[in-house]
A and B are shown apart, each in its own frame.
Chain A
Amino acid sequence: MNNSKNQRDSDIQKKIDHEIRMRDGACKLLAACSQKDQTLEAAKSLQTCSTRIMAYMSELQRMKEAQVMQKVTRRSSDAGPMEDRLPCKGKVAISDLRIPLMWKDTEYFKNKGELHRCAVFCLLQLGGEIFDTDMVIVDRTLTDICFDNTIVFNEASPGFELRVELYSCCSEDDYSAGSTPRKLASKLSSSLGRSAGKKLRAAMEPGPCSPVSNGGAGPLLLPVPSVPGPKYHLLAHTSLSLLHVQDSFRTHDLTISGNEECSYWLPLYGSMCCRLAAQPHCMTQQMMNGCLKVKQLGGDPQSWKKVYAVVKGTSLFCYHQQEDVEANVEPAFTIAVNKETRIRASEKDPHSKVQNICISNQYGGEEVTHSLTTDSREDTHRWMEAFWQHFYDMSQWKQCCDDVMKIEMPSPRKPAPVTPKQGSLYHEMVIESSNDLSTTVSDILARRMQELELRSHLGTSPTWMSVFEENSPKSTVRPRPCTSRLSGHSPCIPHRPPRSPLSPHRCPQLSLLSSDASLTSDSDSHCSTSPCFHRHGWPEPSSNFPLGSSSPCRLRPRTLSLDAKLSTLRGRVYGGGGTLQCPCQPPPSSLLTPFPISSCSPRSQRSTQTTLSCSSSTSSNSSSNSEGSHSLESSEGAPFSRPSPARRSLRNLKARLDPRNWLQSQV
Chain B
Amino acid sequence: MSKYIPGQPLTAVVERIEIQKLRQGDNLILGFSIGGGIDQDPGQNPFTNDKTDKGIYVTRISENGPADVAGLREGDKIMQVNGWDMTMVTHDKARKTLTKKNQDVVRLLVTRRSLEEAVKQSMGKKQ
- Determine the chain B residues whose CB is within 8 A of the CB of A597 once the complex forms: 24
Residue B110 at the chain A interface, CB threshold 8 Å: no
Which chain B residue has the least Cβ–Cβ distance from A146? B100
Instruction: Check B92–A614 contact: CB distance below 8 A.
Output: yes
Residue B116 at the chain A interface, CB threshold 8 Å: no
Instruction: Check B102–A416 contact: CB distance below 8 A.
Output: yes
A663-B40 contact given A249-B80, A408-B104, CB 8 Å threshold: yes
- Determine the chain B residues whose CB is within 8 A of the CB of A630 once the complex forms: 26-27
Instruction: Check B32–A667 contact: CB distance below 8 A.
Output: yes
Instruction: Check B18–A635 contact: CB distance below 8 A.
Output: no
Q: Could you say which of A248, A594, A663, A666 contacts B107, with CB atoms under 8 Å apart? A: A248
Residue B60 at the chain A interface, CB threshold 8 Å: yes
Interface residues on chain B, size class: 35 or more
Q: Could you say which of A596, A628, A661 contacts B99, with CB atoms under 8 Å apart? A: A628
- Determine the chain A residues whose CB is within 8 A of the CB of B55 once the complex forms: none
For residues 580 through 601 of chain A, which have their beta carbon under 8 Å from a beta carbon of chain B?
582, 584, 594, 596-597
For residues 75 through 117 of chain A, which have their beta carbon under 8 Å from a beta carbon of chain B?
96, 98
Instruction: Check A661–B34 contact: CB distance below 8 A.
Output: no
Q: Could you say which of A273, A274, A667 contacts B98, with CB atoms under 8 Å apart? A: A667
Chain A min CB distance to B71 (Å): 15
Q: How many residue pairs between the two chains, A and B, have CB atoms under 8 Å in the bound complex?
A: 111
Which chain A residue has the least Cβ–Cβ distance from B25? A634
Instruction: Check B90–A594 contact: CB distance below 8 A.
Output: no
Instruction: Check A665–B40 contact: CB distance below 8 A.
Output: no
- Determine the chain B residues whose CB is within 8 A of the CB of A664 once the complex forms: 33-35, 59-60
Give the segment of B2-10, B41-49, B117-125 that binds chain A: B41-49
Which chain A residue has the least Cβ–Cβ distance from B109? A248
A635-B27 contact given A662-B44, A664-B33, A665-B34, CB 8 Å threshold: yes
Residue A162 at the chain B interface, CB threshold 8 Å: no
Which chain A residue has the least Cβ–Cβ distance from B106? A667
How many Å lie between the Cα of A123 and that of B104 in the bound state?
23
Instruction: Check A635–B24 contact: CB distance below 8 A.
Output: yes
Q: Could you say which of B24, B35, B59, B102 contacts A413, with CB atoms under 8 Å apart? A: B102
How many Å lie between the Cα of A374 and that of B99 in the bound state?
55
Instruction: Check A660–B46 contact: CB distance below 8 A.
Output: no
Q: Could you say which of B44, B100, B107 contacts A661, with CB atoms under 8 Å apart? A: B44
Which chain A residue has the least Cβ–Cβ distance from B94? A665
A594-B33 contact given A628-B96, A667-B98, CB 8 Å threshold: yes
How many Å lie between the Cα of A582 and that of B41 in the bound state?
11
Q: Could you say which of B24, B83, B91 contacts A634, with CB atoms under 8 Å apart? A: B24
Instruction: Check A614–B93 contact: CB distance below 8 A.
Output: yes
Instruction: Check B29–A635 contact: CB distance below 8 A.
Output: yes
Instruction: Check A594–B62 contact: CB distance below 8 A.
Output: yes
Residue A627 at the chain B interface, CB threshold 8 Å: yes
A96-B102 contact given A635-B27, A659-B41, A665-B34, CB 8 Å threshold: no
- Determine the chain B residues whose CB is within 8 A of the CB of A667 once the complex forms: 29-30, 32-34, 95, 98-99
How many Å lie between the Cα of A67 and that of B45 in the bound state?
70
Residue B16 at the chain A interface, CB threshold 8 Å: yes
Chain B min CB distance to A285 (Å): 23
Residue B50 at the chain A interface, CB threshold 8 Å: no
- Determine the chain B residues whose CB is within 8 A of the CB of A631 once the complex forms: 27-29, 99, 101
Instruction: Check A632–B99 contact: CB distance below 8 A.
Output: yes
Chain A min CB distance to B12 (Å): 14
The contact string, 1 if C-beta is below 8 Å from chain B, for chain A 402-439, is: 00001010010100100000000000000000000000
Q: Could you say which of A96, A408, A660, A663 contacts B82, with CB atoms under 8 Å apart? A: A96
- Determine the chain A residues whose CB is within 8 A of the CB of B98 once the complex forms: 667
Residue A148 at the chain B interface, CB threshold 8 Å: yes
How many Å lie between the Cα of A630 and that of B24 in the bound state?
12
Q: Could you say which of A249, A406, A666 contacts B33, with CB atoms under 8 Å apart? A: A666
How many Å lie between the Cα of A503 and that of B62 in the bound state?
32
- Determine the chain A residues whose CB is within 8 A of the CB of B93 once the complex forms: 614
- Determine the chain A residues whose CB is within 8 A of the CB of B84 once the complex forms: 98
Instruction: Check A582–B59 contact: CB distance below 8 A.
Output: no
Instruction: Check A661–B32 contact: CB distance below 8 A.
Output: no
Chain A min CB distance to B100 (Å): 8
- Determine the chain B residues whose CB is within 8 A of the CB of A662 once the complex forms: 35-36, 40-45
The contact string, 1 if C-beta is below 8 Å from chain B, for chain A 623-661, is: 000011011101100000000000000000000000111
Which chain A residue has the least Cβ–Cβ distance from B40? A662
Q: Could you say which of A612, A614, A628, A661 contacts B90, with CB atoms under 8 Å apart? A: A614
Residue B52 at the chain A interface, CB threshold 8 Å: no
Which chain B residue has the least Cβ–Cβ distance from A97? B83
- Determine the chain A residues whose CB is within 8 A of the CB of B18 once the complex forms: 406
How many Å lie between the Cα of A594 and that of B27 in the bound state?
15
- 6 A-B pairs within 8 Å (CB atoms) are namely A248-B83, A582-B44, A628-B95, A635-B27, A635-B29, A663-B91
7 additional contacts (CB under 8 A) given A249-B83, A275-B82, A631-B99: A96-B83, A584-B59, A613-B92, A635-B62, A659-B39, A667-B33, A667-B34
List 9 tightest A-B contacts by C-beta distance, closest first: A249-B83, A614-B92, A662-B44, A634-B27, A664-B35, A631-B99, A667-B98, A666-B33, A665-B95
